[in-house]
Homo-oligomer: A and B are copies of this chain.
């Protein structure tokens, strides 16, 4: 047997899907629970979510939204109100049918038959219907509009093949739900929140996402228009990382959100909804990790700096630990993009090499070793997660405190640049059916996941072509890219499958 050359086995090249699962475990981000499809989000993973929440929440509030909270339970009849919605969502969900446990004839606990609910309750897979029913009570006149509300919540969609963070039965998310007087305002809101997501993904997650509109076949059930951000991860597949839906008057009609207009007529409101979830964490891990584990973008990293005291001899322990905590205190006074630097001292009595590798796997942006020799020289040994693990710099304590924010910004930029180069390299214009099929067929049958990437190709606009491509290649239209975003995407041409005329290219990819 050969020695492993990286901390995570298998490598990304050997088996990307399995590499991902191993990274999530090795980085102590999450683990499966005994409840099928549900995960336990561990502190190092939940910290990412807290930082994502903190920043996004600020962006939502800066755009005029307020938070509220709506019930976990949705009466079954609510889901049936919007025809397309029920088609799309009423399939796999958790259904509450009883409200009391009792000891059965065999003495074992069971749902008490006498406690059966007259109407089953569904655990929210999304909250359009129950929020719609509430807005219908709140809205009487155009003066009550707009309603600009967001909710941070858990939702449940039964999943038979869960994948930590990317697809779990229960997940955490935010769902914005707004109601407007006019179609134009609702359309503007839909675009505005797509912009918030794109900015957040780029600036905070170092994810260069494509924005665009979903084809009719990929729309949110009941939406008139679904906008999305699509990220490319390292196996060149797409992840839909956020969506913003223009719901027209569909849900307003189903929920009867009506108002007396400025001209004294009864009108239905125009509504939107938009959301991102803990899936963002899976996306950033797949986009930035390497064969040694996770690589967290500094802007959302659970901790920015981990300080590792090096204690070769017991008699130096107290001095080294004092210096480590003193440095941590100094660093916590530094503000990084407005918030105090997040610093951890790992003082556990664990072998130094083991400890260092744990933090590499966890993806902490900066590891700082401090030992007796550093104390003498007044320096620290700093390693960046985006560089080779043996590469270190040796600034003085003061130099490090002065430059730490700049170094973190440099790591952030490096991650974004790498992800952008990867995405651009594997986003390819394709003009023939032969090339298209070759692009999405693995070169090596042992590694079926390694295919071309994102294909910009012409499409005749038909559902039939979409279905054929999906069945043949497991490839879908990720989006019709926002005009002006990809050079040449808006040029006319001919459908890559049928040869029929097409006004513009769309983005095809395999996806998670």
Contact = CB atoms under 8 A, between A and B. Distances in A.
A193 to B, nearest CB: 18
A227 to B, nearest CB: 25
A33 B101 contact: no
A79 B101 contact: yes
Given A100-B92, A120-B111, A47 B73 contact: no
Contacts of A39: 71
A149 interface: yes
Contacts of A122: 101
Contacts of A94: 73, 96, 98-99, 121
A73 B143 contact: no
Contacts of A347: none
Nearest to A349: B143
Interface in A123-167: 123, 130, 133-134, 137, 143, 149, 153-154, 156, 158
A155 to B, nearest CB: 10
A348 B143 contact: yes
A43 B70 contact: no
A46 B101 CA distance: 32
Number of copies: 2
Given A96-B123, A130-B33, A46 B67 contact: yes
A203 to B, nearest CB: 22
A39 to B, nearest CB: 7
A93 B86 contact: no
A100 B158 contact: yes
A114 to B, nearest CB: 12
Interface in A49-102: 49-50, 66-76, 79-80, 86, 90-101
A32 to B, nearest CB: 10
A70 B33 contact: yes
A349 B31 CA distance: 53
Contacts of A49: 69
Contacts of A110: 76, 120
Contacts of A120: 98, 110-111
A31 B130 CA distance: 13
Contact of A34 (B96, B133, B348, B350): B133
Contact of A47 (B34, B42, B67, B350): B67
A144 to B, nearest CB: 10
Interface string A438-464: 000000000000000000000000000
Interface string A305-346: 000000000000000000000000000000000000000000
A91 B101 contact: yes
A93 B96 CA distance: 10
Q: How large is the interface on A (under 10, 10 to 19, 20 to 34, 35 or more residues)?
A: 35 or more
A72 B121 contact: no
Contacts of A35: 71, 73-75, 121, 130
B40 A73 contact: no
Given A109-B86, A111-B120, A349-B143, A98 B95 contact: yes
A466 interface: no
Contact of A80 (B91, B109, B111, B170): B109
A149 B43 contact: yes
B133 A111 contact: no
Contacts of A69: 40-41, 46, 49, 172
A38 interface: yes
Contacts of A156: 72
A350 B144 CA distance: 11
A38 B95 contact: no
B79 A40 contact: no
Contacts of A108: 80
15 contacts: A33-B70, A34-B133, A35-B121, A38-B73, A41-B69, A43-B67, A46-B68, A76-B109, A93-B100, A94-B96, A94-B98, A95-B99, A95-B101, A98-B120, A123-B123
Given A41-B69, A76-B101, A80-B109, 10 more contacts: A35-B71, A43-B68, A49-B69, A92-B99, A95-B96, A95-B99, A100-B158, A101-B122, A143-B349, A154-B154
Interface of A: 31, 33-35, 38-43, 46-47, 49-50, 66-76, 79-80, 86, 90-101, 108-111, 115, 120-123, 130, 133-134, 137, 143, 149, 153-154, 156, 158, 170, 172, 348-350
The 8 closest A-B pairs by CB, nearest first: A38-B71, A43-B66, A41-B69, A95-B98, A90-B101, A99-B158, A95-B111, A97-B97
